């Protein structure tokens, strides 16, 4: 069996399932995708529930998400998870649930007889992860979202507003991308103080220091040699610091924060929480969280 499958493998069941003892019926799609830990936790949940299905990684190039969905439907897939860089593109190829519409991205697909339906479990999954890791409800915190221009950043910023946080600072390389999004966020939560900044804004450090929770939602930190998404001047020991990246487990941002004595967590907890919510979209009534946590605790 392959560690990573491609669009070409979706041409037939024979190609997809050769050498496997169970049919591939769920997947995570992304580009690249070899690093994804999703199969470990989802396969554990499927096996524990006695479901005859395999969960695979699919490397799909940008611009081909719709074709991938069509092929998965034809092969009888139950659904899939959607990760970077496809969370926005996926919206054009499914019926988007209103909650996912508000969050601005799709990360979970369910294939039904008459429709391809899109959901977003990133926002709720993030809120659950923060409370689990830091024993503080997200709505009680003032939050900085660094890298707010991407799908994950948009979902997390929106979740903050849906919960009515007192203050939200959204930071991106360019402000142009944030403009329309900030307008929508203000409509969602008029009581939230929302500040949009570029990374080179001289007010960045002051605004970060006035908040409780710092979140990196960008891909900065994935590659060896990446810098910290924020300079040390933006951090203080009282901060809670969350990086949505989970591989490597300690990113440059988390290393800097650890050095200052901050409480930190990486994206593994969000991955598990959003994954459990996705699993429940495919199998209503399932309770996979404990099994998924146990499976991920065994990661090498």
The catalytic residues are 87
Residue 148 sits in the same domain as residue 253: yes
Instruction: Assign 25 a pLDDT band (cuts: 50, 70, 90).
Output: very high
Residue 93 sits in the same domain as residue 220: no
Report pTM: 0.91
Residue 169 sits in the same domain as residue 36: no
How far from 296 is each of 50, 246, 265, 285, CA to CA, in Å?
A: 19, 11, 15, 22
Q: Please tell me the distance from the alpha carbon of residue 25 to that of residue 77, in angstroms, as a whole number.
A: 4
Residue 111 sits in the same domain as residue 40: yes
Instruction: Assign 17 a pLDDT band (cuts: 50, 70, 90).
Output: very high
Instruction: Assign 299 a pLDDT band (cuts: 50, 70, 90).
Output: low
What local confidence, expressed as pLDDT, does residue 101 receive? 92
Residue 105 sits in the same domain as residue 157: no
What local confidence, expressed as pLDDT, does residue 35 receive? 87
> Which residues, including other chains, have CB under 8 Å from residue 102's CB and lie 6 or more apart?
158, 162, 188
Residue 150 sits in the same domain as residue 228: yes
Residue 163 sits in the same domain as residue 94: no
pLDDT 10s digits, 180-216: 899 999 999 999 999 999 999 999 999 999 999 999 9
DSSP-assigned states of every residue in 203-245: THHHHHHT-SEEEE-SSTTSSTT---SS-GGG--TT-EEEES-
Q: Please tell me the distance from the alpha carbon of residue 9 to that of residue 18, in angstroms, as a whole number.
A: 10
Domain harbouring 51, CATH code: 3.40.50.10860
The verdict on residue 276 lying in a domain is no
Domain harbouring 238, CATH code: 3.40.50.720
What local confidence, expressed as pLDDT, does residue 13 receive? 97
- Residue 64 reports pLDDT greater than 70: yes
Last residue of a domain, one of 74, 99, 120: 120
**Using N-to-C axis directions, what is the helix angle for 151-162 and 179-188, rounded to 10°?**
20
In terms of Cα–Cα distance, which of 70, 22, 13 is closest to 42? 22
Domain ranges, residue 92? 5-120
Residue 58 sits in the same domain as residue 196: no
What local confidence, expressed as pLDDT, does residue 296 receive? 95
The verdict on residue 296 lying in a domain is no
* Cβ atoms of residues 262 and 100 within 8 Å: no
Residue 176 sits in the same domain as residue 239: yes
Strands 108-111 and 116-119: antiparallel
pLDDT 10s digits, 257-291: 999 999 999 999 999 999 999 999 999 999 999 99
The verdict on residue 234 lying in a domain is yes
The verdict on residue 283 lying in a domain is no
Strands 24-30 and 167-172: unpaired
- Residue 151 reports pLDDT greater than 80: no
Instruction: Assign 104 a pLDDT band (cuts: 50, 70, 90).
Output: confident
What local confidence, expressed as pLDDT, does residue 152 receive? 83
The verdict on residue 113 lying in a domain is yes
Residue 116 sits in the same domain as residue 140: no
Name the percent of the chain lying above pLDDT 90: 89
Residue 50 sits in the same domain as residue 135: no
The verdict on residue 224 lying in a domain is yes
* Segment 42-48 mean pLDDT: 98
Element at 266 (helix H, strand E): strand 263-266
pLDDT 10s digits, 105-118: 899 999 999 999 99
Last residue of a domain, one of 73, 97, 120: 120
- Residue 300 reports pLDDT greater than 60: no
What residues does 28 pair with on adjacent strands?
Answer: 57, 81
The verdict on residue 295 lying in a domain is no
Name the percent of the chain lying above pLDDT 70: 99
The verdict on residue 44 lying in a domain is yes
Residue 129 sits in the same domain as residue 229: yes
Number of folded domains in the chain? 2
Note if the bond before 32 is cis, omega within 30 degrees.
yes
The structure tokens listed for 222 are 């994935």
Last residue of a domain, one of 120, 135, 151: 120
């Amino acid at each position: 069996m392959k560690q990573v499958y491609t669009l070409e493998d979706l041409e037939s069941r024979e190609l997809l399932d050769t050498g496997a003892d169970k049919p591939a019926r769920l997947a995570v799609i992304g580009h690249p995708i070899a690093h994804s830990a999703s199969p470990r936790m989802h396969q554990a949940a499927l096996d524990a529930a006695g479901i005859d299905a395999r969960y695979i990684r699919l490397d799909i190039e940008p611009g081909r998400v719709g074709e991938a969905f069509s092929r998965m439907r034809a092969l009888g897939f139950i659904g899939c998870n959607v990760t970077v860089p496809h969370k926005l593109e996926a919206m054009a190829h499914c019926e988007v649930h209103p909650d996912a519409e508000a969050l601005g991205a799709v990360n979970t697909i369910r294939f039904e007889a008459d429709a391809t339906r899109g959901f977003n479990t990133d926002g709720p999954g993030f809120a659950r992860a923060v409370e689990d890791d830091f024993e503080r409800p997200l709505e009680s915190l003032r939050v900085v979202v660094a890298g707010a221009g991407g799908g994950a950043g948009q979902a997390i910023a929106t979740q903050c507003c849906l919960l009515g946080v007192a203050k939200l600072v959204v930071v991106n390389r360019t402000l142009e991308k944030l403009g329309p999004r900030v307008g929508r966020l203000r409509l969602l939560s008029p009581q939230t103080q929302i500040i949009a900044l570029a990374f080179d804004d001289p007010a960045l450090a002051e605004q970060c220091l006035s908040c409780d929770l710092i979140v990196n939602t960008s891909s900065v930190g994935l590659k060896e040699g990446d810098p910290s998404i924020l300079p040390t001047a933006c951090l203080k020991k009282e901060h809670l610091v969350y990086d949505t990246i989970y591989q490597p487990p300690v990113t440059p941002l988390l290393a800097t924060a650890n050095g200052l004595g901050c409480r930190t967590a990486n994206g593994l907890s969000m991955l598990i929480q959003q994954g459990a919510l996705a699993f429940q979209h495919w199998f209503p009534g399932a309770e996979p969280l404990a099994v998924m946590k146990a499976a991920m605790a065994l990661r090498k």
